[in-house]
Chain A
Amino acid sequence: MAQTLEHSPSTRIDRCPWWRAGPRLAWLGIVRYRYLLIALVAVYAAMAGLSAVRLETVTAHPLQPSQWEFREPTFILRNGEFNTYNQQKILEQMAINLTLGVGMTFVILTGGIDLSVGSLLALTNVVFVQAILGISGAEAPTGVVILAGMAACLATGLACGLVNGWCSVSLGLPSFIVTLGMMFIAKGAAYLVSGGQTHSLACPGPLAIGIPIAGSLLAVVAAGVFLATTAAGRRVYAVGGNLVASEYAGVRTGRVRLMCFAVSGLCAGLAGMIHWARLSAGSHLAGDTKELYAIAVVVLGGTRLSGGEGSIVGTLLGALIITVLANGLNASAIDEMSQKIIIGCVLIVAAYIDSRRGRRSGATAV
């Protein structure tokens, strides 16, 4: 552990003030994540290529297209111009997986796991919508009411995250079990709060784009800077790398782990808001199985499930790869089951390529 920290380039970042850390972090990130970057470019190019082939299924079976021809690659072009619409949609579609992934990165870095984030998304999503509908009734909500709803939504996420953290730190239960329990609790609570119904609440135009894109990118930047440049961020790596050693070194490991679960809950709250911004509705069915996507995004980003190694940059790249893939397969109207197979294969191949880096150059944490 000590050796890893000494030889890792990130320890040099420690002595570097945060405002100067940006360019260095960016460079180190490119070196560290070159394989993932190549994978991202390759996936992007492959999706653009795929969208240039139009398969027409005439038989009922999707795997037997009977006609095909070349056309404009709609993934990147639209009527001969760059398809900005689709690029913007990629960012919007990435928002939920990315936000949950950021929170999940914290928990996984400490060697834990948070299975409750998908259900917490549903809970915070319905709390947000119900709170606003409760205050303003049938009238269109004012800005202040929306802010109050956001506060309620984030507070719910934070509170559930703290409960997760408290149970696994103070009660000494494995995080897998605690968050599995929270998953069911949040699911049921979401059903009760919403009465099992979908409630509509129109999202004002600018927020519909602003919350998903700005919200998720803000979470990425804040979390990335925190983990890579602050002492508290270093402690997260220390706890995940070796719990006992960091305890002896004077790190309050319980607090660090509690904080990580709280961050994950907070991110789930943000994701609940993003879900509302995308669909203008609150539903207890939102975010189902999203925890698995969050884990996939984090693992794809090179974060070790055993803790102590990984970063937000990796999570961002992981989320980008998965979203670009899903968006591109959608653009070509590939059926849902084939999409699942392709995403699964890419996940395993990317994880393999990234694991080779770890074996050759030793563990680093950027």
Chain B
Amino acid sequence: MRNWYWVQAGLVAACLLTWTGCKGEGGADKTRPRVGLIMKARTNPFFSRMEAGAREAAQELGVELQVWDLERETDTDKQAAHVEAAISQGMKVILIAPADSKAIVGPLLQARKQGVRIINIDNRIDADEAKRAGLEIAAFIGPDNVEGARKSTQAMIEAMGGQGQVVMLEGIRGVDNAEARKRGFQKAVEAAAGKVEVMAMDTALWDRDKALEKMEGFLNNYPNLDGVFAANDQMALGALAAIRAAGKAGRIVIAAYDNLDEIHAPIRAGNVHATIEQHPDRMGYMGVEQAVKLINGEEIPDEINVDTDLVTKETLSSE
């Protein structure tokens, strides 16, 4: 019995070793440029659309594309391992959507030292930190978060009749796009010239359950709320659950951000007023496109803003 196990294990190991040995002679495909896309969770439709866009561009432009994703969007340690895998794989350009805009600088610096070019997409790498570490980033491709959040908040204020009490559910504090969306919200509130009162702003960590809890607290503290701006759709859906439970669905105006498929039903039903489409597929596509230009030695612009669009009941029905 015991010997049989040894024989089995030995055979398996031998097969694998031979297989590995044989395949070593194949050699890498050196004709096509190699580009790595390191992003957050594929389970988030935003990133699966980004991947689809990047794959489309890779197909058209003849690029060898490899894609890495995270399970939890805060897993900086794992993302560092992905950067290392991309270096080890001999990628010429890394397209990165950082999980943490500061903690990614160290690993990327390693890549840069190995001659890998870096294009930052979606969520901006901390500029001060990159400068201090001497990290050279070839380009940033992303949405204008401030403008997007301003549009969404403005739509909310208009739906409220231009006045009233509002709260905001923020993303993870310190993360660039969360801070930018907060600025966009504040900008729209200031533009309302004192008619809109901000009762509270708190983080719900981009999370639906957390947003449900926070919103329950807000509804308890401020019974006369007129509007909520949630920095992403997930939190908007959490807030909607709380508002529904309080019997106020449709009476409190919800504005959101991201344009997930899931938010379309509540928008059509009139429970959520507006959201923002960021075109992640365009970001992925442009990322690969710019990477190819970089490999061919062409100049590329430092910053490319992808337009954001407001999505409401009207735009959904006209589609």
Contact = CB atoms under 8 A, between A and B. Distances in A.
Interface of A: 35, 38, 41-42, 45-46, 48-49, 52-54, 56-60, 62, 69-74, 76-79, 83, 85-86, 89, 92-93, 96, 196-200, 202-203, 208, 275, 278-281, 283, 285-289, 326-327, 330-331, 333, 335-337, 340, 360
A327 B85 contact: yes
Contacts of A96: 77
Nearest to B16: A45
A333 B68 contact: yes
Contacts of B105: 200, 280-281
Nearest to B2: A360
B80 A278 contact: yes
Given A42-B13, A74-B89, A196-B203, 7 more contacts: A60-B52, A60-B55, A72-B26, A196-B173, A200-B133, A208-B106, A330-B82
Nearest to A61: B48
Contacts of B69: 335-336
Contacts of A78: 88, 90
Interface of B: 2, 9, 12-13, 16-17, 19-20, 23-24, 26-29, 36, 41-43, 48, 51-52, 55, 59, 64-72, 74-78, 80-82, 84-85, 87-90, 100-107, 126, 129, 132-133, 172-174, 203
Contact of A331 (B75, B76, B85): B85
B12 A42 contact: yes
A283 B70 contact: no
A48, A59, A79, A279 — which one has the most chain B CB atoms within 10 A of its CB? A279
A360 B2 CA distance: 10
B106 A203 contact: yes
Contact of B67 (A77, A93, A278, A333): A333
B27 A72 contact: yes
Contacts of B106: 202-203, 208, 278-281
Contact of A52 (B24, B42, B78): B24
A49 B23 contact: yes
Contacts of A93: 81, 84
Nearest to A53: B23
A283 B76 contact: yes
14 contacts: A35-B9, A38-B9, A70-B23, A89-B88, A197-B173, A200-B133, A202-B106, A327-B81, A327-B85, A330-B85, A331-B85, A333-B68, A335-B67, A336-B70
Contacts of A288: 72, 74-75
A4 B55 CA distance: 59
B68 A330 contact: yes
A45 B20 CA distance: 7
Contacts of B174: 196-198
Given A69-B29, A279-B106, A45 B81 contact: no
B55 A89 contact: no
Given A42-B9, A93-B81, A197-B174, A60 B48 contact: yes
B179 to A, nearest CB: 10
Contacts of B42: 62, 335-337
B13 A331 contact: no
Given A281-B102, A333-B66, A340-B71, A54 B29 contact: yes
Contacts of A59: 55
Across the A-B interface, the 7 shortest Cβ-Cβ residue pairs? A280-B106, A52-B23, A281-B103, A45-B16, A330-B85, A70-B26, A197-B174
A93 B103 CA distance: 16
B43 A337 contact: yes
A269 B156 CA distance: 47
Given A279-B107, A286-B77, A340-B71, A45 B102 contact: no
A38 B88 contact: no
Nearest to A329: B85
Contacts of B173: 196-197
A198 B59 contact: no
Given A62-B42, A72-B27, A79-B90, A281 B77 contact: no
A275 B81 CA distance: 12
Contacts of A286: 76-77
Given A198-B100, A337-B71, A49 B20 contact: yes
Contacts of B59: 58
Contacts of A86: 84, 88
Contact of A38 (B13, B76, B129, B132): B13
A87 to B, nearest CB: 10
A38 B5 CA distance: 11
B20 A73 contact: yes
A211 B105 CA distance: 18
A203 B106 CA distance: 8
B87 to A, nearest CB: 7
Contacts of A42: 9, 12-13, 16
B262 to A, nearest CB: 18
A336 B71 contact: yes
Nearest to A42: B13
B23 A73 contact: yes
Contacts of A46: 16
B81 A48 contact: no
Contacts of A79: 28, 90
A49 B89 contact: no
Contacts of B36: 333
A85 B76 contact: no
Contacts of B41: 336
Contacts of A45: 13, 16-17, 20
B287 to A, nearest CB: 16
Contacts of B132: 200, 202
B64 to A, nearest CB: 7
Contacts of B172: 196
B76 A279 contact: yes
Given A72-B28, A333-B66, A283 B100 contact: yes
A279 B13 contact: no
B59 to A, nearest CB: 6
A46 B9 CA distance: 13
Contacts of A77: 24
Nearest to B85: A330
